[in-house]
Amino acid sequence: MNKHTMKKQLLFFVIFLTTCQPWLVFAQSANSNLSARQLFARYCSSCHGKDRLGETGPALLPENLQRLKKTKAPAVIKYGRVATQMPGYADKLNDQQIQALVNLIYTPLPHIPVWGKKEINHSHIIYKKAFARSNAKNVKPVYSADPLNLFLVVESGDHHVTVLDGDKMVPIKRFKSRFALHGGPKFSSTGRYVYFASRDGWISKFDMYTLETVAEIRAGINTRNAAVSADDRYVLVGNTLPHTLVILDARDLSLIKVIDVKDDEGHSSRVSAVYTAPPRHSFIVALKDIKEVWEINYSDHPPKIYPGYVHDYRSGEGLAETGKFPIRRIKLHDYLDDFFFDQSYEYLIGASRTGKKGQVVDLIVGKKIADIDLPGMPHLGSGITWKYKNTTVLATPNLRKGLVTVIDMHTWKTIKKIKTDGPGFFIRSHENTPYAWVDVFVGPHKDEVHIIDKRTLKIVKTLNPDPGKTSGHIEFNRDGSRALLSIWENKGEVIVYDTKTFKIVKRLPMSKPVGKYNVYNKIHRSAGTSH
Residue 172, CB half-sphere, CA atoms under 13 Å: how many?
23
User: Strand order in 202-207's β-sheet?
Assistant: 125-126, 212-218, 202-207, 193-197, 186-187
List pLDDT tens digits, range 467-482: 999 999 999 999 999 9
pLDDT reading at 312 higher than 60: no
Q: Judge whether 295 lies within some domain.
A: yes
User: How much of the chain, in percent, has pLDDT values that exceed 90?
Assistant: 65
List pLDDT tens digits, range 38-83: 888 888 988 888 888 777 777 787 777 777 788 888 888 888 876 5
pTM: 0.84
* Range with lowest mean pLDDT among 184-188, 334-338, 444-448: 334-338
Of residues 64 and 324, more confidence is placed in 324
- pLDDT for 304 equals 63
Of residues 351 and 167, more confidence is placed in 167
Please compute the mean of the pLDDT values over residues 265-272 and round it to a whole number.
93
Q: Judge whether 272 lies within some domain.
A: yes
- pLDDT for 183 equals 66
What CATH number does the domain containing 96 carry?
1.10.760.10
In terms of domains, do 245 and 127 share one?
yes
Please compute the mean of the pLDDT values over residues 78-104 and round it to a whole number.
83
Q: Judge whether 4 lies within some domain.
A: no
Boundaries of domain holding 156: 150-167+379-531
> 293 pairs with which residues across the strands?
286, 330
C-alpha distances out from residue 87 to 18, 61, 67, 99, 425, Å: 28, 19, 20, 17, 17
Q: Judge whether 129 lies within some domain.
A: yes
Q: Do β-strands 327-331 and 310-311 pair in parallel, antiparallel, or remain unpaired? A: parallel
Shortest CA distance to 97 belongs to which of 22, 30, 34, 42? 34
Q: How many domains does the chain have?
A: 3
Domain final residue, candidates 319, 343, 372: 372
C-alpha distances out from residue 367 to 12, 295, 361, Å: 71, 12, 5
* Average pLDDT over the chain, rounded to an integer: 87
- pLDDT for 83 equals 58
- pLDDT for 216 equals 98
- pLDDT for 123 equals 97
- pLDDT for 1 equals 53
Q: Judge whether 274 lies within some domain.
A: yes
User: How far is 360 from 313, CA to CA, in rounded Å?
Assistant: 13
Shortest CA distance to 318 belongs to which of 295, 341, 344? 295
In terms of domains, do 222 and 241 share one?
yes
- pLDDT for 355 equals 65
Rg (CA), the chain: 25
User: How far is 181 from 171, CA to CA, in rounded Å?
Assistant: 19
What CATH number does the domain containing 503 carry?
2.140.10.20
* Range with lowest mean pLDDT among 249-253, 362-366, 503-507: 362-366
In terms of domains, do 296 and 232 share one?
yes
